Amino acid sequence: MTDDRPRQLARTPPMGWNSWNAFSCDVTEADIRAAADALVDTGLREAGYEYVVVDDCWMASETDSDGRLQPSADFPNGMAALADYVHDRDLKFGLYSSAGSHTCQGYPASLGRERLHAEQFAAWGVDYLKYDNCGDHAGREAVDRYAAMGEALASVDRDIVYSICEWGENAPWEWGRNVGGHLWRATDDLVAKWRANPDEFGLGIADVIDRMAAIDAAAAHGPGGWNDPDMLQIGNGPDSGQSEHEAVDVQRPLTKAERRSHFAFWCLLAAPLMIGADLTSLSTFDRELLTNERLLAIDQDSLGIQGTPDRRGDDAEVWSKRLRDGGAVAFHNRGDAEREISTHVSAVGVPAGADRYRVCDCWTGTEWETGGSLAMTVEPRDTAIVRVTPG
């Protein structure tokens, strides 16, 4: 292999599905097969969702005598057969481990056995590794532990996307690329709520948006290396695996406005889009949201620029993202009443100086022209998002 081979991966933010938010530690081989089938049947694969990732709890509680990971009894046909099943559907297969002695749920993990495990992953046909931060760290710094797996993955004869899950604790946007990472979690776990209680597990959607505005990591973000605000909670609620497992006080599913804001912001941030819902019971609204071509084009724009806030601090927020042929502008209402939010192309991340701009509402597809002024009426907690193209 050549040294730059891993950099050819993840040129746009990875898209796929991960088992954790829906199934938590109860995940089985049958769930993964059903998710792969559902990605095909629902049209999500056609829309670009390609990775099927098994999160924590796939492994047996003991390694073999050489320290190799072994699948649990819930994966009776083993990981190579499951990878084949996923590959046969033109999808890619991902697994999970941790840069410590154990995973977050107490299963054996990879610290000190990186090469051995990377060789197992490659032999099984793994295309994506999510690498968590739990277990005993043997006194080693995060950069050192994550570099060890990065080197191991680079040494095997297979392209494996390396997803660093260090929760943003040691500013992974500053070193994620250098240790071979293709994406790195910038925040704590996202839960299926608009806001989390400060004393409970995880962060809500609005909490993560606030955190992404605060950390100033956009400069590190781009083709081959992405800030990750965590997996999507669209389609999840009180009964989802993560909500129950982490005892999150989720009283109700996210409203449609909250789900639109969640998806609009993840696309504006050019975030990795890992669906976290049970795909066998996805609603029509959620399927249409997740396959909105105008939103996905913003997320997957080839420049790979992360959207940033232009105006915050009151209940009317404006965020924007430069795109190859113009820009995307989001108008977000944090308040309790409908309101009009306005701005001008000269105040946001759209190339200025054109006489006319074409504007397209990404929810409705409605198009119009402007000399530069932009104004949208937005429901509480909702987000209007437009694509603005000069000329």
State the residues that interact with ligand GAL by CB under 6 A: 20, 55-56, 103-105, 132, 134, 165, 167, 189
Cα–Cα dist 41/251, whole Å = 30
Angle at 46 between CA 40 and CA 47, to 5 degrees: 120
Taking the least distance from each CB to ligand GAL, the nearer of 232 and 254 is: 232
Taking the least distance from each CB to ligand GAL, the nearer of 106 and 224 is: 106
Taking the least distance from each CB to ligand GAL, the nearer of 25 and 220 is: 25
Taking the least distance from each CB to ligand GAL, the nearer of 105 and 255 is: 105
| Catalytic residue from among 55, 132, 207, 228 | 132
Q: Alpha helix (H) ranges present in the chain? A: 20-23, 29-41, 44-47, 78-88, 114-124, 142-155, 205-215, 241-245, 256-268, 284-290, 293-299
| Catalytic residue from among 55, 189, 278, 382 | 189
Quick check: is 189 catalytic?
Answer: yes
CB of 359 to ligand GAL, least distance (A): 37
CB of 107 to ligand GAL, least distance (A): 9
CB of 319 to ligand GAL, least distance (A): 25
Residue nearest to ligand GAL (CB): 104
Quick check: is 64 catalytic?
Answer: no
What are the start-end ranges of the E strands in the chain? 15-18, 51-53, 92-98, 128-132, 161-164, 183-185, 226-228, 273-275, 308-311, 316-323, 326-333, 339-344, 357-361, 367-370, 373-378, 383-390
CB of 160 to ligand GAL, least distance (A): 17
One-letter amino acid at 182 equals H
- Residues annotated catalytic, as ranges: 132, 189
